[in-house]
């Protein structure tokens, strides 16, 4: 059932991105989200919360009011209300306002503070506005193509970490900070990924030799996910380029951000649409 | 000599992956392995071992009993018993049960705890079940192709670490933590791989200048193994793609996970089999 | 209006790089800049400043005098004086001398010391001298091509850091160093980029598990910018190679640093010029 | 002047790698070098030097005697004695024995200990023995091809480190460990390369924000050298493959380590020789 009148107009403004009003709404929304996220960050700083606590409290309720109105309007003008409410973004929209109301009942729970931070996820819904979505799609598609190889890689790496962690537990033992095998595995993961906090550190010569071996292996296999993603990205980018074909002279060697054919000046079809077609195939 | 009757059925269930019973066995086995590995991790945590020691003891014996029965059945139904027992997985299967029995004789050795952890290697045998094996093969083959270049790279890097470590031993000396050349080499490896624990750190200006140089070199040559593996992976992935040829229309531009020819709809041969053929060439 | 006489000759020496005098001036300038930057570094070391303070003071004024003369000469011989003064390098040239004069009025401000360091940017203007510019162009162009993908990647990574930081704030809390959400986000960024200072470190088992997950994710997505830049660089390098075409036999498979056609010995056009043409298209 | 008799035979054994005696000599030499390097490492460990000092002293003189004899024989049987003595390896060979004799005059200098470690460089001369040299050549050639781009990259990174280091010096100041600009630059290098020792760490919110920015930039530009080397390596490996052409059927799709043409079984020319030809072009 197509929407009419008020609801149709509201739908175009709130959910749409093509009309000037829709764009303005999206831009206003993105700034409101960023401001409310910044507010949550400041609230968590004790010295700030002490000095400006009251101001923060008022601002928080203003943001909550704004998001509540927006949430109700979204329900009002959605094409299919039920599917909106239970969609991923529907739930994120609800989570953006719920914690403030819950805080009236339970006081001081820092968990609620963190759930408020999930508002940051709402930014992704507004990103539809910009051309960046296509590039995000490319990244996600490449990672998705490589998903099984990445999983196999992680499985192998975890087994390595378990074995190295267990060896360090035996070699260094609890008196040097390796108090249990899970903690030693935590050390192995921190080492093999080259993070190296330095909170747990081998102190015996043998332990240091094993640690050196672990870092060398970590240094070497960092190449594997990089190689995987690079190969997939290169293949996806080639694919995208061949999709970008001029309808007039049918040459296909255009840059991904080209808007006109560089051989005959004909307007190129939007890559965005082409992805849509591909998805619909 | 082909197996018959009971042994044949058992062999299909335990070693095979094609029948529903074989799949169910593999899934049950993978969960049992993970549970027993998790148990070993918990046993090593002192606070847990103190509270639930008795429960852990009972569970350990249940797992040992299960693996013992499985091991005996595997010997019983193997096509070639001797070659199973002395195969890599045959020994891993034995190591999964031996430590518990040894613990009856010698008590409290944490070494036995760690050997038990080798059970985690048994997961790889069950991975035959899934399609992930092909991707693991691709990774291993790429690393194998690049093995000599990686070795040369490691040799050069070790020489670098020895020279930088020795320089730091002279410049910083024992009073700043660089107590011996091997320890300084340990520092150089930890630095050049960009792990950087911070347990040994240069304190003189000259030492810090050398450390900065070492990190810059480490940052630069991290590119070499990455480049090697990426180039090999890209070449292997191209190779795999060309192997994936339709027997009907003989076009070969299918995605690695395609099961039907996208041009004529003909069922594509399994890539798995193709690798087998290649290995047999 | 073309320059004549004195001004023309000065312009060729100071701004130009083709005449021997122009090259000599550039080489002298680059060494003066490096020496003056080295001086600022030494001035900031307290023990050095105490001992050689007077010498440093005299040297600083010599450099300031030299740069002042150079600045005035540049204004004198510039083709378009106004556009030089307000150009990026005009402002950098002014910032190279201003702090020393300001230090006569305000004393001891370390801010002025740092602004003096901006002299290091002047090196880039002299780099026109060498052939390295083309390679710098290639790097910058590749990064520019990948700019939107890199931005999308950073946006995703920041959201990840906010969520992980917030989780750690809840799990570890102020008593383990995670005193506020912004500080926890700082920890998440330091961890996900595999820097790992170790100044803030998880101490509960759950916190360590989240930290391990964060490092693994960081280790994995480091592949994304690498893959992006590699793919762009490879494409730019291919592009550059095809631009490098012999005007005589029109083959285009020359190395980027070739100066003569390897097939017919004909002098190849400068790649530098070709880029100019491309930019002018 | 070609060598004859004794000298010719010695030359083949000591400098050559083709005769069985030459190979045996090289293998013996590589083990002697490794043993003598291991000895130097042990000597530097104080507890070991205390216990086994006398044994180490005797072993050191045995190695010195062996290397002295080898050095004299090399001079004796070299085709061109002068050019051997002043060649890179001639000097390394001399440095391998000189420190022990100098130690008779000056006692206890740890500098001599480190110069002895340069023996490790002698390993590279023996590496001619193995096929690994070709792969080393490929790596070195790729890095050499990318040398100018890598230099430009380092110049840009150093300027970034100077600017970030200076900012941190102003923001954090000496009371938080940033005692001078050179030390702050050391911090910036350690951070931007993702090493992150944690010996100097920002403590103000603004400093931590700058540190987060620095790590993000370091994380991003790590992609550049990787991309450069990967692109060069891929191009070199393609080049090598096309060089590997069968003289009989002239197909060129052989693996780099193939020795016979996979299409007609004809013996392929050594890639090693081909590189020689290329170098001689």
Interface membership of D142 toward C (CB under 8 Å):
no
Shared domain for D38 and D105, answered yes or no, is: yes
The answer to which of A105-114, A119-128, B85-94, D8-17 has the lowest mean pLDDT is: A105-114
Shared domain for B155 and B73, answered yes or no, is: no
Q: What is the pLDDT of residues B23-44, one digit of tens each?
A: 888 888 889 988 998 988 888 8
The ipTM estimated for the assembled molecules is 0.78
B220 lies in some domain: yes
Say which residue, B32 or C253, is predicted with more confidence: B32
Inter-chain contact D149–C131, Cβ cutoff 8 Å?
no
B92 lies in some domain: yes
Q: What is the pLDDT of residues C159-169, one digit of tens each?
A: 889 989 988 98
Inter-chain contact A40–C179, Cβ cutoff 8 Å?
no
Interface membership of B212 toward D (CB under 8 Å):
yes
At residue C264, the pLDDT reads 64
Inter-chain contact B197–C198, Cβ cutoff 8 Å?
yes
Contacting subunits of D (3+ beta carbon pairs below 8 A): A, B, C
Give mean pLDDT, residues D37-65.
Answer: 87
C42 lies in some domain: yes
Give mean pLDDT, residues C268-276.
Answer: 47
Shared domain for D27 and D12, answered yes or no, is: yes
Inter-chain contact C44–D205, Cβ cutoff 8 Å?
no
Q: DSSP alpha helices (H): ranges in C45-131? A: 46-77, 81-85, 88-95, 98-105, 110-117, 122-126
At residue A116, the pLDDT reads 80
Confidence of residue D206 (pLDDT cuts 50, 70, 90): very high
End-to-end CA distance of chain D: 26
Q: CA dihedral in degrees (B171, B177, B183, B184; nearest 10)?
A: -20
B120 lies in some domain: yes
Shared domain for D123 and D178, answered yes or no, is: no
As a whole number, the mean pLDDT across chain C is: 78
Confidence of residue D191 (pLDDT cuts 50, 70, 90): very high
Whether A125 shows a pLDDT value over 90: the answer reads no
Q: What is the pTM of this model?
A: 0.81
Inter-chain contact A156–B136, Cβ cutoff 8 Å?
yes
Shared domain for D108 and D147, answered yes or no, is: no
Inter-chain contact A41–C182, Cβ cutoff 8 Å?
yes
Q: Phi/psi class of residue B5: alpha, beta or left (left: φ > 0; alpha: ψ in -120 to 50)?
A: left
A185 lies in some domain: yes
Shared domain for A33 and A116, answered yes or no, is: yes
Q: Tell me which DSSP letter residue D248 carries.
A: T
Whether B209 shows a pLDDT value over 90: the answer reads yes
Contacting subunits of B (3+ beta carbon pairs below 8 A): A, C, D
At residue A275, the pLDDT reads 39
Percent of chain D with pLDDT over 90: 16
Instruction: Give the CATH number, domain containing residue C73.
Output: 1.20.120.350
DSSP string, chain B: ----HHHHHHHHHHT--SSHHHHHHHHHHHHHHHHHHHHHHHHTSHHHHHHHHHHHHHHHHHHHHHHHHHHHHHHHH-SSHHHHHTSHHHHHHHHHHHHHHHHHHS-S-HHHHHHHHGGGGHHHHHGGGSTHHHHHHHHHHHHHHTHHHHHHHHHHHHHHHHHHHHHHHHHT-GGGT--SHHHHHHHHHHHHTT----SS---SHHHHHHHHHHHHHHHHHTHHHHHHHHHHHHHHHHHHHHH---TTT------TT--B-TTT-PBPPPHHHHHHHHHH-
Where in the sequence is the domain holding C20, given as residue range(s)?
5-128
As a whole number, the mean pLDDT across chain B is: 78
Q: What is the pLDDT of residues D134-172, one digit of tens each?
A: 667 777 777 787 777 777 788 888 888 998 998 898 889
Instruction: Identify which of B27, B36, B16, B30 has the alpha carbon closest to the alpha carbon of residue B124.
Output: B30
Shared domain for A13 and A124, answered yes or no, is: yes
* Residue A127 half-sphere exposure toward CB, CA atoms < 13 A: 19
Interface membership of D110 toward B (CB under 8 Å):
yes
Interface membership of D230 toward A (CB under 8 Å):
yes
The answer to which of A20-34, A60-74, C132-146, D169-183 has the lowest mean pLDDT is: C132-146
At residue B272, the pLDDT reads 43
CA distance B42 to B190: 30
Interface membership of D196 toward A (CB under 8 Å):
yes
* Residue in B149, B182, B231 closest to D41 by CB: B182
Instruction: Give the CATH number, domain containing residue D203.
Output: 1.10.287.70
Interface membership of A177 toward B (CB under 8 Å):
no
Q: Which of A88, A110, A128 is the last residue of a domain?
A: A128
Inter-chain contact D230–C228, Cβ cutoff 8 Å?
no
Distance from the C147 Cα atom to the nearest Cα atom in chain B, whole angstroms = 21
At residue B262, the pLDDT reads 60
Whether C276 shows a pLDDT value over 70: the answer reads no
Question: B187-219 burial string, b = 16+ CB within 10 Å, else e?
Answer: bbbbbbbbbbbbbbbbeeeebbbbbbebbbbbb
Instruction: Identify which of B216, B211, B153 has the alpha carbon closest to the alpha carbon of residue B177.
Output: B211
Confidence of residue D281 (pLDDT cuts 50, 70, 90): very low
What's the burial of D54, exposed, middle or buried (CB within 10 Å: 0-12/13-18/19+)?
Answer: exposed
Q: DSSP alpha helices (H): ranges in chain D? A: 5-14, 20-44, 46-77, 81-85, 88-105, 110-117, 122-126, 132-145, 147-171, 181-192, 205-221, 223-243, 271-280
The domain tally of chain B equals 2
Nearest chain B residue (CA) to A146: B135
Whether B274 shows a pLDDT value over 90: the answer reads no
Of D208, D225, D226, which to mutate for an interface test with A (greatest number of A Cβ within 10 Å)? D226
C47 lies in some domain: yes
Nearest chain C residue (CA) to A157: C216
Say which residue, C257 or C14, is predicted with more confidence: C14
Count of residues in chain B: 281
Give mean pLDDT, residues D83-95.
Answer: 85
* Residue in C194, C198, C230 closest to B198 by CB: C198
Q: Which of C128, C144, C177 is the last residue of a domain?
A: C128
Q: How far from chain centre, in Å, is Cα A274?
A: 24
Shared domain for C111 and C25, answered yes or no, is: yes
Give mean pLDDT, residues C94-104.
Answer: 81
Distance from the C256 Cα atom to the nearest Cα atom in chain B, whole angstroms = 20
Shared domain for C177 and C151, answered yes or no, is: yes
**CA-to-CA dists, residue D158 to A175, D192, D222, angstroms:** 42, 10, 14
Q: Which of D98, D128, D158 is the last residue of a domain?
A: D128
Whether B279 shows a pLDDT value over 50: the answer reads no
At residue D276, the pLDDT reads 36
* Residue in B44, B45, B230 closest to A227 by CB: B230
Whether B54 shows a pLDDT value over 60: the answer reads yes
A261 lies in some domain: no
Which of B175-184, B241-250, D258-267 has the highest average model confidence (pLDDT)? B175-184
Nearest chain D residue (CA) to C237: D231
D65 lies in some domain: yes
Interface membership of A216 toward B (CB under 8 Å):
yes
Q: What is the CA radius of gyration of chain B?
A: 26
Distance from the A225 Cα atom to the nearest Cα atom in chain D, whole angstroms = 13
Interface membership of A219 toward D (CB under 8 Å):
no
At residue C68, the pLDDT reads 92
Inter-chain contact B193–A194, Cβ cutoff 8 Å?
yes
Say which residue, B266 or B98, is predicted with more confidence: B98
In chain B, residues with a C-beta closer than 8 Å to the C-beta of D117 are 162-163, 166, 181
Inter-chain contact C162–A120, Cβ cutoff 8 Å?
yes
CA distance B71 to B14: 10
Question: B238-261 burial string, b = 16+ CB within 10 Å, else e?
Answer: eebbebbbbeeeeeeebebeeeeb
Contact pairs from chain A to chain D, CB under 8 Å: 9
Give mean pLDDT, residues C18-40.
Answer: 87
Q: What is the pLDDT of residues C194-242, one digit of tens each?
A: 888 989 999 999 999 999 999 888 877 777 777 777 777 777 776 666 5
Shared domain for A10 and A113, answered yes or no, is: yes
Inter-chain contact C111–D226, Cβ cutoff 8 Å?
no
Whether A241 shows a pLDDT value over 70: the answer reads no
Give mean pLDDT, residues A136-164.
Answer: 81
In chain C, residues with a C-beta closer than 8 Å to the C-beta of A225 are 219-220, 222-223
Written as six digits, the tokens of A241 are: 């380029």
Token look-up 């320089």 returns: B167
At residue B264, the pLDDT reads 64
The answer to which of A81-95, A172-186, A255-269, D200-214 has the lowest mean pLDDT is: A255-269
Give mean pLDDT, residues B65-74.
Answer: 92
Vertex A245 angle, CA A239 and A249, to 5°: 150
Nearest chain D residue (CA) to C47: D180
Shared domain for C40 and C97, answered yes or no, is: yes
The answer to which of A56-65, C105-114, C225-234, D215-224 has the lowest mean pLDDT is: C105-114
Shared domain for C9 and C82, answered yes or no, is: yes
């Amino acid at each position: 059932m197509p929407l009419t009148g008020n609801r149709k107009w509201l739908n175009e403004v709130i959910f749409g991105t093509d009309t000037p009003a829709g764009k303005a709404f999206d831009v206003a929304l993105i700034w409101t989200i960023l401001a409310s996220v910044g507010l949550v960050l400041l609230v968590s700083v004790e010295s700030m919360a002490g000095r400006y606590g009251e101001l923060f409290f008022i601002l928080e309720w203003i943001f909550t009011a704004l998001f509540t109105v927006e949430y109700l309007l979204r329900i009002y003008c959605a094409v299919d209300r039920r599917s909106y409410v239970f969609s991923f973004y529907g739930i994120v929209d609800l989570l953006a306002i719920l914690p403030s109301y819950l805080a009236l009942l339970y006081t001081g729970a820092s968990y609620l503070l963190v759930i408020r931070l999930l508002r940051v996820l709402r930014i992704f819904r507004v990103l539809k506005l910009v051309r960046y979505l296509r590039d995000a799609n490319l990244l996600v598609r490449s990672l998705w193509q490589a998903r099984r190889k990445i999983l196999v890689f992680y499985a192998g790496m975890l087994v390595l970490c378990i074995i190295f962690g267990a060896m360090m537990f035996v070699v260094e033992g609890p008196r040097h900070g390796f108090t249990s095998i899970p903690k030693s595995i935590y050390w192995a993961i921190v080492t093999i990924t080259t993070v190296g906090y330095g909170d747990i550190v081998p102190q015996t010569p043998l332990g240091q030799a094993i640690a050196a071996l672990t870092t060398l292996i970590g240094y070497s296999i960092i190449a594997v996910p990089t190689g995987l993603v690079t190969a997939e990205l290169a293949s996806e980018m080639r694919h995208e380029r061949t999709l970008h074909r001029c309808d007039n002279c049918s040459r296909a060697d255009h840059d991904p951000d080209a808007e006109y054919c560089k051989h005959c000046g004909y307007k190129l079809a939007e890559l965005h649409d082409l992805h849509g077609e591909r998805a619909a195939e």
